[in-house]
Structure 1
Amino acid sequence: MPRATERKERSFSMRLSEADIAIIDRAAARRGRSRTDFVRGAAVRAAEDVLMETVPIQMRAAGFKAFMAALSKPAGAVPEMVELFRRAAPWETSGSKTGK
């Protein structure tokens, strides 16, 4: 007689408004995923984010000292960021399609 296999997945249901379902379906379609896959992924990511906010960070005394020393140093310019902020935004350039 075949032995019953243990089910590894469980069902989870919720009530949503038509508007909520419509926006979830649109987003899932854009990602090429089913509604179930999309909602599962979004829910798991949100849960992981919450849990990561509460995970204590542990380090040895020497590592903590080095970490605090790095934080205490004055901030330095990042050349790539300086260059980025010097550029005009696409909507500010004369070549933009919506030009003034």
Structure 2
Amino acid sequence: MSRPVERKAHPLSMRLPETDIAIIDRAAALRGRSRTDFVRDATVRAAEDALMETTPIRMSPAGFKMFMAALSGPAAPVPEMVELFKRTAPWESKASPSYTDAAPRGEDAAKRKSRAGKRR
């Protein structure tokens, strides 16, 4: 005789406008996921965020002193961050056009501005 199997998943039903479904489907497709997986992950993530915002952090008095000492002490550089900030940003490389090439500056910009003021 077989025993009934306990369901591990619980259905959740929602009524949403077509526009919301279209946005969800588009985002789910971009992530390569089903609508159900996408909505479940987004909902659980939002629920975890809400819980983390309201969950008190408990620590011993000694732990709190150590925590406060760490916050109050001098900052120490993180080697990976130092290296990251030394790199040239992709938009600053010589291969890509610079902002100054795309937007005229100086005298030309001033002339256009004065002409625009005279038209008013």
Please indicate the TM-score interval, normalised by the length of the shorter structure. Answer: 0.7 to 0.9
Once the two structures are overlaid, the 10-residue window that deviates more, 7-16 or 23-32, is: 7-16
Determine helix, strand or coil for the equivalent of 2:41: helix
Once the two structures are overlaid, the 10-residue window that deviates more, 56-65 or 1-10, is: 1-10
1:16-95 superposed matches below 5 A? 16-95=16-95
Q: Relative contact order (alpha carbons < 8 A, sep ≥ 6): 1 or 2 greater?
A: 1
Q: Distance in 1 between matches of 2:90 and 2:44?
A: 36
Once the two structures are overlaid, the 10-residue window that deviates more, 73-82 or 43-52, is: 73-82
TM-score scaled by structure 2?
0.67
Q: Distance in 2 between matches of 1:19 and 1:78?
A: 45
Counterpart code for 1:93: S
Q: Distance in 1 between matches of 2:26 and 2:91?
A: 29
1:38-63 Cα shifts (integer Å, max 9, x gaps): 10111011101100111111111211
Q: CA deviation at 1:86?
A: 2.6
Q: Number of matched residues?
A: 98
Structure with bigger helix share is 2
- Where structure 1 has 5 or more consecutive residues not aligned to the other structure, the ranges are none
- Where structure 2 has 5 or more consecutive residues not aligned to the other structure, the ranges are 99-120
